[in-house]
Amino acid sequence: MTAETATPRSAQARWRARTGPPLSAYGVYVALLLLVVVNVVVTPSFLSAANLRLQLVQTVPVLVVALGMALVIGTEGIDLSVGSVMAIAAALIPLYLGYGAATAIVVSLVAGAAAGLLSGSLVTFAGIQPIVATLALLIGGRGLAIVIAHGQLKQIYNPQLLALGSDNVAGVPLTVLVAAVLVVAVGLLVGRTTFGRQLVAVGGNRKAAEFAGLPVRRVLLVVYMLSGVLAAVAGVLATARLNSSDPSNLGQLIELSAITAVVVGGTPLSGGRVRVVGTVAGALLMQLITATLIAHNVPASVTQMVEAAIIAVAVLLQREGRAGA
């Protein structure tokens, strides 16, 4: 009996060992390539310069937020407050534009860092679960942003700020270049610095990191602050592109899109690894899925169901990859 049942189980284990890790690590790139090929065939003018620029520009907010989310998830945490932090950043911009665009941007980024510091402190010092701590800020932060803006959408007329959302450099939108710089910076932070190694160690085994003398609390605080700052950057870029500050609607549900991009990109929810390039591919994949469905008149509700299915499949593939490792 044992001999009869051992063979199928061994075969299943071998199948997981062969297919799990490659699918988890490279599945997002294959899916992205296939989606591009499909669009080239079925979507008119998909490869036009205007459409490619549009897709990149629309990917930027989710990508920038996802970079911070990847760092948090790498520590086995989660940050649900990023959409509200975007709204706070957007609400503060009109209040300080009178002092110049640079001042308004700096104030917004400082607010993002402060929001991240609050979330990180709740997680690190109060011992609150990340999902609970950041959920509280998601709710309270959105309310604060609306209070700051008096519940109003405000038009932006400052030419320096608007240039951030409309200017191009050698044909490439400035917002895309900003996002590219941030991708490189986060990639170097994770892959080439002591802090990046500490982050991965904390996410892999927090107790072991503490016993090894790593500054676990400092790492967690910095990670949540970076997530807040990147969310604020996304809020500034979105406000500049939309020519208005709209705290009531800006960043709604972007935390879900960011989590999807990170998980699909190969960063496990269990922490211990951060895939920056995979996160970029995940953000592009989610944007192309949305654009493809819209181009073919598929309702937005279907897009949400597709995102949910993609998250489920990505988590299953990650689990298979760990089981086969």
Provide mean pLDDT across the span 245-273: 92
Provide mean pLDDT across the span 86-105: 96
Amino acid in position 61: P
Residue 253, by phi and psi: left (phi above 0), alpha (psi -120 to 50) or beta?
left
pLDDT in the model for residue 22: 60
Q: Identify the CA nearest to 200 among candidates 180, 223, 221, 182.
A: 223
Query: What are the E-state strand segments in the chain?
Result: 154-155, 168-169, 172-173, 244-245
Q: Which residue has the tokens 């063979």?
A: 7
pLDDT in the model for residue 43: 86
pLDDT at 199 over 50: yes
Q: What is the CATH number of domain 50-317?
A: 1.10.3470
Quick one: angle between helices 194-204 and 49-74, nearest 10? Answer: 60
pLDDT at 149 over 80: yes
- Whether the Cβ atoms of residue 86 and residue 250 lie closer than 8 Å to each other: yes
- Each domain of the chain, given as residue ranges in start order, spans 50-317
Q: What does the pLDDT look like over 202-224, one tens digit per residue? A: 999 999 999 999 999 999 999 99
pLDDT band of 225, cuts 50, 70, 90: very high
pLDDT at 19 over 60: no
pLDDT in the model for residue 81: 96
